[in-house]
Amino acid sequence: MRRNYFTLFLAAGLFILLIVLGVLQYRWQTEISDSEAQRMHKLAQEYAGRFSEDFNKEIQNAYFNFDVGADDWSAANYHPFVDRYEFWRAKTAYPGLISEFYFFNAEGKNAPLKFDAEEKTFTPVEWSPELKEIYSRTQDQKNFRAVNEDIYTLILPEHESPQRVEHIILRRSPAMVKLGEQKEPDIPPALEMPKTYGYLVMRLDEGVIRDKILPDLAAKYFDDNDYRISVTTSDGKPVYETANLKGVPDAQSSLFELSPNDVYFFANRDLANSLTEHKESGTMTSHIENRTMTRSVSNTSQGTVQVEIQNGGQQKTRVFTTTGDSPEGRWTLSAQHSAGSIDAYIANTKYRNLAGGFGILGLLGLSAGAIMFSAQRAKAYAQRQIDFVSSVSHEFRTPLAVIYSAGENLADGVTNDPSQTARYGELIKGEGRKLSAMVEQILEFAGASSGKRKLSLRPASVAEIVSDAIAECRPLLDAQNVELENDADVSLPTVNADHAALSRAIQNLITNSIKYRDGSSWVRVSARNGDGKVKISVEDRGIGISKDELGQIFEPFYRAKSVVDAQIHGNGLGLSIVKQIVEAHGGHVTAESEPGVGSKFTIELPCN
Ligand code: ADP
């Protein structure tokens, strides 16, 4: 009993442990998933940012590089421009990005000039409709935009710059118009812009952007096919996409942003190095000694960028970036995880991991249960074997005692009467037969269990086998005054059987019916044909078997508790031998029973 409680406690403990592990695993998995989602969001945003930064730098590099100043344009001195053109072509990974350069005067006087890359000079051309359109855009100073991505054009104003601030693009302080208010800016410009002398127009090659730069960047930052990438214009038209994005993107950033943060790289090539080294202040060139640069985006949609440039004690303040450009950029890069979103991907992964984890826990629980179950069975089996040894010893003791005392009497010459001597002889013979029958049964079980017994199957008549079995049981039937009804159909087809073995199986069933008949004196053996099978039944009106035990009676050594308590002799092997024999014939044996009413055992064999 104590052991049973121990097993129960162990099972309950294990169950609780598994539940706790399951809950912990769920919590841990949730925490891991949350932080992984955060990490992936951050990473996606970072990569989208770098993608934009690289793209913008490419545009900015081109844009700011070509600011040569009005003096050279007015003097038709194209050497500085050609130098910069060659410098840019040598540095850039996409020399095809700018397909054409034009220059025209701010007042629209004279014919526009077109850059001839071979001759390294600008030559006059006609006012084409596109150039006219570009020119008209430059005339609307309020809405002037450096980036005209809709027509793939950059427009660089060339100012009549003051002498000592060369090569830096200046612009008016951007309008500090509060969102929603349409009034004129109330903050005065940091500095009046120098007069615009003319405009350098850079025509961008749409194909290079679409087919080279964007795919290159997509491959560089989102190479693993985990993300769908799309680039759309400000009115939502797709420019480039690796796959169709549905729903909310995981990360976004702006393209075509001439961000002031990056401006110092491009102010001009002489300044670039020193500016990168001294981000906040420092000597930049022989012309410009100090600068500070701040950017504020406060409550406006446009940024204010101030560049303070000092030359000796004299301070010049300039506003430094592209005219009127909003820092938000003009195209939008969107990245979305191929699972629909990072959150969806993380949720999928989480459920997959949880399923795996719970699967392992479940398996653990099942194996522990299976181990407990088989340990329990092994224990019960061992107990049954012990019971078997004691009951067999008990069974042996009675006939041995009878034989011993009969022999002793004979040896002591207790009787000289020949009829008495003959009775002793009969007694010894009877008990000896019982003993050898018991030994036979045990040997039979052992032989069958070790697989040593071989049946010799040949076509046999069922009725004959049944009557043989009854004949074998006849002495016992007579001794117990039991009437046996033989209801075997003589016209049954033959079955493939080992005559002796099948007869022994039927004898075992008849012996049980006699043993457990409970005062009744009726046993019936019948053999019928049905569903292509021969059914041999042994029926009695004995003590019957309870429902719980009906499933176990064919197990070796099993004996019902009631028969053990009632001290009915037996070793628990009879039915397991019947089962072995019947199954060796390709058939099976079943039992129906009701306690106090009787039992019916049926052997079903395939017929020829
Ligand atoms: P044994 O009869 O030696 O105990 P068996 O293997 O022949 O072993 O039978 C197993 C158990 O099945 C018996 O102990 C008994 O409880 C039950 N049993 C078998 N036959 C009958 C029957 N005809 N009536 C009632 N109980 C039976």
- Indicate whether residue 391 lines ligand 1 (CB < 6 A): no
Tell whether ligand 1 has an atom less than 6 A from the beta carbon of residue 254.
Answer: no
Does the pLDDT value for residue 263 go beyond 50?
Answer: no
Residue 20 maps to a domain: no
Question: Residue 438: CB partners within 8 Å, gap ≥ 6?
Answer: 392, 395, 396, 571
The CA–CA distances, whole Å, from 221 to 47, 225, 229, 266, 502 equal 6, 10, 10, 24, 81
Q: Quick check: CB of 512 below 6 Å from ligand 1?
A: yes
pLDDT at 294 over 60: no
Distance 597 CA to ligand 1 centre (A): 15
Kindly state whether residue 22 falls inside one of the protein's structural domains: no
Is pLDDT at 556 greater than 60 in this prediction?
yes
DSSP annotation of 151 reads G
In 358-368, which positions are buried (b, 16+ CB within 10 angstroms) versus exposed (e)? beebeeebeeb
CA dihedral 99, 105, 109, 111 (to 10 degrees): -20
Q: Do 439 and 395 fall within a single domain?
A: yes
Distances from the Cα of 412 to the Cα of 304, 397, 423, 600, angstroms = 135, 22, 16, 49
Q: How many CA atoms lie within 13 A of 13 on its CB side?
A: 7
Residue 560 CA to ligand 1 center (angstroms) comes to 7
Question: 228: which strand partners?
Answer: 336
Distance 513 CA to ligand 1 centre (A): 8
* CB of 554 closer than 6 angstroms to any ligand 1 atom: no
Burial per residue of 517-555, b for 16 or more beta-carbon CB atoms within 10 angstroms, e otherwise: beeeeebbbbbeeeeebbbbbbbbbbbbbeeebbeebbe
Q: Are residues 512 and 444 in the same domain?
A: no
pLDDT at 193: 53
Q: Which atom of ligand 1 is nearest to the CA of 559?
A: 14
Between the CA of 515 and the centroid of ligand 1 the distance, in Å, is: 8
Residues 144 and 126 in one domain: yes
Residue 556 Cβ inside 6 Å of ligand 1? The answer reads: no
Decide which of 435, 450, 465 is a domain's last residue: 450
Answer yes or no: do 544 and 501 share one domain.
Answer: yes
* C-alpha of residue 575 to centroid of ligand 1, in Å: 7
Distance, CA 552 to ligand 1 centroid (Å)?
10
Flag whether pLDDT at 415 surpasses 90. no
Atom of ligand 1 nearest to the CA of 575: 6
Q: How many CB atoms lie within 10 A of CB 303?
A: 18
Domain endpoint, select from 310, 340, 370: 340
User: What's the CATH code of the domain at 434?
Assistant: 1.10.287.130
Residue 86, in any domain of the structure: yes
Q: 513 and 384, same structural domain?
A: no
pLDDT at residue 388 in the model: 82
Distance 553 CA to ligand 1 centre (A): 7
538, 548, 553, 577: residue to mutate for ligand 1 pocket, most atoms within 8 A of CB? 553
Q: Round to whole Å and give the CA distance between 100 and 205.
A: 9
Q: Looking at ligand 1, which atom is closest to the CA of residue 560?
A: 16
Ligand 1 centroid – CA 41 distance (Å): 73
pLDDT of residue 578: 95
Q: Ligand 1 center to residue 588 CA distance, Å?
A: 17
The closest-lying atom of ligand 1 relative to the alpha carbon of residue 601 is 23
Task: Check if 513 has its Cβ closer than 6 Å to any atom of ligand 1.
Answer: yes
Nearest atom in ligand 1 to 572's CA: 8
pLDDT range class, residue 303, cuts 50, 70, 90? very low
- Give the residue, 265 or 529, on which the prediction is more confident: 529
pLDDT tens-place string over residues 113-145:
999 999 999 999 999 999 999 999 999 877 778
Residue nearest to atom 11 of ligand 1 (CA): 559
Mean pLDDT is lowest, of 282-291, 337-346, 450-459, 532-541, for: 282-291
Q: Mean pLDDT check: name the lowest of 246-250, 270-274, 440-444, 539-543.
A: 270-274
Task: List the residue whose alpha carbon is closest to atom 3 of ligand 1.
Answer: 570
Q: Based on the domain organization, do 596 and 535 belong to the same domain?
A: yes
Question: Is 11 within the bounds of a domain?
Answer: no
Q: Which domain holds residue 144?
A: 40-340
Q: Does the C-beta of 599 come closer than 6 Å to ligand 1?
A: yes
Question: Quick one: 458 and 402 in the same domain?
Answer: no
Q: Which residue's alpha carbon is at the smallest distance from atom 8 of ligand 1?
A: 572
Model confidence at 299: pLDDT above 60 = no
Is residue 5 one of the residues assigned to a domain?
A: no
Indicate which atom in ligand 1 lies nearest the CA of residue 571.
3
- Ligand 1 centroid to Cα of residue 576, in Å, is 10
Give 191's pLDDT tier (boundaries 50, 70, 90): very low
Structure confidence at residue 40 (pLDDT)? 94
Please name the amino acid found at residue 311: N
CA of 534 to the centre of ligand 1 (A): 23
Cβ proximity of 102 and 115 under 8 Å: yes
Q: Is the CB of 574 under 6 A from ligand 1?
A: yes
Q: Is 563 in the pocket of ligand 1 (CB under 6 A)?
A: yes
| Winning range, highest mean pLDDT, from 169-183, 254-268, 322-336, 368-382 | 368-382
Same-domain check for residues 244 and 183: yes
Clarify whether residues 470 and 389 are in a common domain.
Answer: no
Strands (E), 233-303: 238-241, 251-255, 290-296
Asked whether residue 364 falls in the same domain as residue 508, the answer is no
Binning pLDDT at 50, 70 and 90, where does residue 161 land? low
Considering the domain architecture, whether residues 176 and 289 belong to the same structural domain is answered as: yes
Where does the pLDDT of residue 309 fall: very low under 50, low under 70, confident under 90, or very high at 90 and above?
very low
Give me the number of domains the chain comprises. Answer: 3
Give yes or no for residue 570 CB within 6 A of ligand 1. Answer: yes
What pLDDT score does 398 carry? 85
Q: What is the pLDDT of residue 452?
A: 67
Q: Is residue 2 part of a domain?
A: no
Q: Are residues 414 and 287 in the same domain?
A: no
- 122-136, 203-217, 317-331, 360-374: the lowest-pLDDT one: 317-331
Residue 160 placed within a domain: yes
Residue to mutate (ligand 1; options 515, 522, 557, 563; most atoms within 8 A of CB): 563
Q: Domain with 467 in it: what CATH number?
A: 3.30.565.10
**What is the percentage of the chain residues whose pLDDT exceeds 90?**
50
**What is the rounded average pLDDT for all residues in the chain?**
81
More confident residue, 414 or 15: 15
Q: Which residue has the higher pLDDT, 183 or 45?
A: 45
**Mutate which of 559, 578, 581, 589 to test ligand 1's pocket (most atoms within 8 Å of Cβ)?**
559
Domain boundary, last residue among 391, 424, 450: 450
Reported as a single tens digit per residue, the pLDDT across 454-494 is: 788 999 999 999 999 999 999 999 999 999 999 998 888 88
Dmax over CA atoms of the chain, in Å, equals: 163
Above 80 in pLDDT, residue 168? Answer: no
Q: What is the pLDDT of residue 329?
A: 56
Q: How many Cβ atoms from other residues are within 10 Å of residue 318's Cβ?
A: 21
Confidence check: pLDDT of 502 > 90: yes
- Give the mutation target among 385, 449, 512 for probing the ligand 1 site: most ligand atoms within 8 A of CB: 512
Within a domain: residue 19? no
Q: What is the mean pLDDT of residues 543-572?
A: 91
Secondary structure tally for the chain: helices H, strands E:
15, 20
